[in-house]
Amino acid sequence: MKIAILPGDGIGPEIVAQAVKVLNVLGEKFELESAPVGGAGYAAHGHPLPEGTLALAKAADAVLFGAVGDYQYDTLERALRPEQAILGLRKQLGLFANLRPAILYPDLANASTLKPEVVSGLDILIIRELTGDIYFGQPRGVRECPDGAFKGQREGYDTMRYAEGEIRRIAHVAFQAAQKRGKRLTSVDKANVLETFQFWKDIVTDVHKEYPDVALEHMYVDNAAMQLVRAPKKFDVIVTGNMFGDILSDQAAMLTGSIGMLPSASLDANNKGLYEPSHGSAPDIAGKGIANPLATILSAAMMLRYSLNKAEQADRIENAVKHVLSQGLRTADIYEAGTTKVGTEEMGNAVVKAL
Amino acid sequence: MKIAILPGDGIGPEIVAQAVKVLNVLGEKFELESAPVGGAGYAAHGHPLPEGTLALAKAADAVLFGAVGDYQYDTLERALRPEQAILGLRKQLGLFANLRPAILYPDLANASTLKPEVVSGLDILIIRELTGDIYFGQPRGVRECPDGAFKGQREGYDTMRYAEGEIRRIAHVAFQAAQKRGKRLTSVDKANVLETFQFWKDIVTDVHKEYPDVALEHMYVDNAAMQLVRAPKKFDVIVTGNMFGDILSDQAAMLTGSIGMLPSASLDANNKGLYEPSHGSAPDIAGKGIANPLATILSAAMMLRYSLNKAEQADRIENAVKHVLSQGLRTADIYEAGTTKVGTEEMGNAVVKAL
Ligand SMILES: CC(C)[C@H](C(=O)O)[C@@H](O)C(=O)O
Ligand SMILES: CC(C)[C@H](C(=O)O)[C@@H](O)C(=O)O
């Protein structure tokens, strides 16, 4: 089984190194091959997603991704900026289903800015459509405003679009995920304003007929943003489009107060996937050896479960992470009085030892 | 001075009645005229925004709006549903600047689901553009997908658009509001993905040159949703587009835990405005006499300040509301042990008495 390792920028290389260490002690035969991506891709080959990197990602059975972005690339033209790599990989690999768990580990209950009774035991799965919507819809650009009160001025514009098949396939992923969990699915839309999301709602309602054992609820996106603050534990699985999912999955992650703990998976139609931590490249702490590698290690666990068919090994890693937390080991981002502060490397070693 | 009173549906009539009572004891000469809107408009005249209601709103110096929506209108075709009234009023009256304060009253600090240290003293002003963006952009609809992997299938689509002048005028409102407060403005965009919001960012940056005393920061919308959970007090004024503003202003309101307390103003270029509570029509509690009228009463205060040039009267109302809170009076939504639970009418009377 071939795994493409794309460390990226900032803390990416440090945290990915720990996940690689973990993969190497499982006793499985993985072929790991690395390539530069994001700013590192630009620095090496003049493009955030170099051809060789894309070819490797396509050839591999799964991709382990760190994070991209660093100060020195902020002034590049948009097409060359690091985040274009992640958009390009999603689109080119057809990774339409983004799975983002928002889980509050009991040992980290204090890290949340929300009251313990509101978030303790939180366990939501957000499923975000990842290759459609206004992220990729054409036409888009800056043009002369063709009509209305501002006719003749410059205007920026983008196109939100969802085709029936695009909605159906993500709805199936969501209903099936709900079947394996609490059997409740919330589809988030803005059907009261947007044609795209009235259509989304109609199609999700239709797909629901095939999953009578799942309770489906429709919720407007503004209300969802409120309910995530008011009573987040009421959610089980949430499914939504690319743009709303970008916002709500980050909001939900932050409810836990420990975004350094949250993995993510982006899957294609055959469960090939890209796995990355939910947090960013944190250039401010890069190279200091203090970043939290657990979200990346847990992303490797998701990879084993979803793409490599090794659910037992995934369980082993997840249990090892729980074990080091219960031992009181904490990186700086989740440290609190009474626990033991450790660096990136030590945390990785502790997980290896727990395995 | 003529004020159009549009009570609407659900709890709308009950809460607006209390605000009218308050307006009537100020000792000013207001001409108040009511008209049906939303479901009530549909019931009376077959349209959520009847012609007479629109004409009244246009003729008035300001509009006091309750809330719209009720179960029996949920199955109407979209063009006739209650919320079309509010979209129609915004567009027809040119109410492009939506001001939504998110304030946590010290007396209500416990109502929040966030820890007291995270939200106590919270005082954010969100300025949402209200007549542009994907809310109104043409073309939109359901069509045959013209290209790509889903070509030939049905697809829903909408157009996000912002013209230069549209961005400039809301940016001016935001910079000027920041000048009167903490002199910090956060412009929320998604410039890393959307052409519309790269353009937005460029124009806001340009307008900033006229306000060198205000510190401007740009933030991606997903990050803003996170920071509102992590450290909401770091914000002073936030400005953003219609769609992102819909989501973030509701999220920010819910941080206070007392959305029944939050007013809003929607202003045109001449400070004529529509004033409404930030909460909805709550049909589940309509007619029970338990709804919180304070957001509507505080909306009337905003109306006096922004549209009717009566800042002193606005202060009087705001102080009266603080006074009833400090007396321990609470409607059911903000009730906690040790306070006195009162109904809609009693709460309105208490504010009148405090005046
Ligand atoms: C970097 C950016 C393009 C990306 C997105 O908006 O999808 C990021 O926010 C994410 O959620 O992975
Ligand atoms: C009712 C709906 C159309 C409206 C909106 O999305 O603007 C509401 O959510 C609001 O924020 O006033």
Q: Look up the CATH number of the domain holding residue B46.
A: 3.40.718.10
Closest-CA residue to B204 (of B161, B244, B234, B169): B169
Average pLDDT value for residue range B24-53: 97
A159 touches chain B (CB under 8 A): yes
Q: Is residue B23 part of a domain?
A: yes
**Which residue has tokens 């809310």?**
B135
Instruction: Label the pairing between strands A123-129 and A215-220.
Output: unpaired
Q: Is the dihedral of CA B63, B67, B71, B77 positive or negative?
A: positive
Q: Which of B113, B159, B161 sits opposite A229 (nearest CB)?
A: B113
Q: What is the mean pLDDT of chain A?
A: 97
| A100/chain B closest Cα distance in angstroms | 14
| Ligand 1 binding pocket includes A246 (Cβ within 6 Å) | yes
Residue of minimum CA distance from atom 1 in ligand 1: A83
Q: Judge whether B326 is annotated as a binding position.
A: no
Q: Is A156 close to B223, i.e. CB distance below 8 A?
A: no
Q: Whose CA is nearest to atom 7 of ligand 2?
A: B246
Judged against a pLDDT cut of 90, whether residue B50 lies above it is answered with yes
Distance CA B350, CA B124 (A): 27
Angle (nearest 5°) at CA B232 between B127 and B113: 110
| CA-nearest residue, atom 11 of ligand 2 | B246
Q: What is the pLDDT of residue A203?
A: 98
pLDDT, residue B234, reads 98
In a domain? residue B179: no
Alpha-carbon Rg for chain B, nearest whole angstrom, is: 20
Identify the H or E element spanning A278. Answer: none
Average pLDDT, chain B: 97
Residues B19, B352: Cα–Cα separation, whole Å: 9
Contacts of A90 (CB under 8 A, 6+ apart): A96, A130, A131, A266, A274
What length is written for chain A?
355
**Cα separation of A153 and A151, whole Å?**
6
% of chain A surpassing 90 pLDDT: 98
Q: Which of A115, A156, A166 sits opposite B113 (nearest CB)?
A: A115
Does residue B74 have a pLDDT over 90? Answer: no
Question: What residues are in contact with ligand 2 under a 6 Å CB criterion?
Answer: A 192-193, 222; B 83, 86-87, 246
Is B297 a member of any domain?
A: yes
Q: Is the pLDDT of residue A80 over 90?
A: yes
DSSP state at residue B135: G
Task: Give B143's strand partners.
Answer: B155
Helix, strand counts (H, E) of chain B: 12, 14
Residue of B nearest to A232 (CA): B113
- For B:282-341, CB contacts with A below 8 A are none
Q: Is residue A87 part of a domain?
A: yes
Q: Report how far ligand 1's centroid is from the alpha carbon of A87 (Å).
A: 8
Mean pLDDT of B264-278: 97
Q: Is B285 inside any structural domain? A: yes
- Tally of domains within chain B: 1
| Phi-psi category of residue A147: left, alpha or beta, with phi > 0 → left and psi -120 to 50 → alpha | beta
Tell me how far apart the alpha carbons of residues A132 and A253 are, in angstroms, rounded to a whole number. Answer: 22
Pairing of strands B123-129, A237-240: unpaired
Dump pLDDT digits (tens) for B141-189.
Answer: 999 999 999 999 999 999 999 999 999 999 999 999 999 999 999 999 9
Q: Do A250 and B148 touch (CB under 8 A)?
A: no
Helix axes B83-93, B51-59, angle to 10 degrees: 40
Q: Which of B81, B100, B246, B247 to mutate to test the pocket of ligand 2 (most atoms within 8 A of CB)?
A: B246
Per residue in A192-228, pLDDT (tens digit) is 999 999 999 999 999 999 999 999 999 999 999 999 9
> How high is the pLDDT of residue B216?
98
Ligand nearest to the Cα of B69, by number: 2
Stretch B321-339: mean pLDDT: 96
Q: What residue numbers bound the domain in which B309 lies?
A: 1-96+262-355
The fraction of chain B above a pLDDT of 90, given in percent, is 98
Q: Give the chain B residue nearest A247 (alpha carbons).
A: B222
Coil/strand/helix, residue A292? coil
**Residue B194 within any structural domain of the chain:** no
Contacts of B166 in chain A (CB under 8 A): 150, 155
Reduced 3-state DSSP string for A204-244: HHHHHCCCCCCEEEEEEHHHHHHHHHHCHHHCCEEEECHHH
Closest CA to A286 of A34, A8, A44: A8
User: Is the model's pLDDT at A329 over the cut of 90?
Assistant: yes
Give the confidence band of A3 by pLDDT, cuts at 50, 70, 90.
very high
Q: Is the pLDDT of residue A159 over 90?
A: yes
Average pLDDT over residues A338-353: 98
Question: B residues 226-245 near A, CB within 8 Å?
Answer: 226, 228-231, 243-244
CA of B352 to the centre of ligand 1 (A): 50
Residue contact A250–B138, C-beta within 8 A: no
Q: How confident is the model at residue B334 (pLDDT cuts 50, 70, 90)?
A: very high
Whether residue B138 is contained in a domain is answered as no
* Chain A residue at shortest CA distance from B279: A223
Measured CA to CA, the distance from residue B204 to residue A154 in angstroms comes to 14
Cis before A139? omega within 30:
yes
Q: What is the pLDDT of residue A160?
A: 98
User: Within a domain: residue B42?
Assistant: yes
Q: Residue B217: is its pLDDT beyond 90?
A: yes
Strand B237-240 and strand B273-277: the pairing is: unpaired
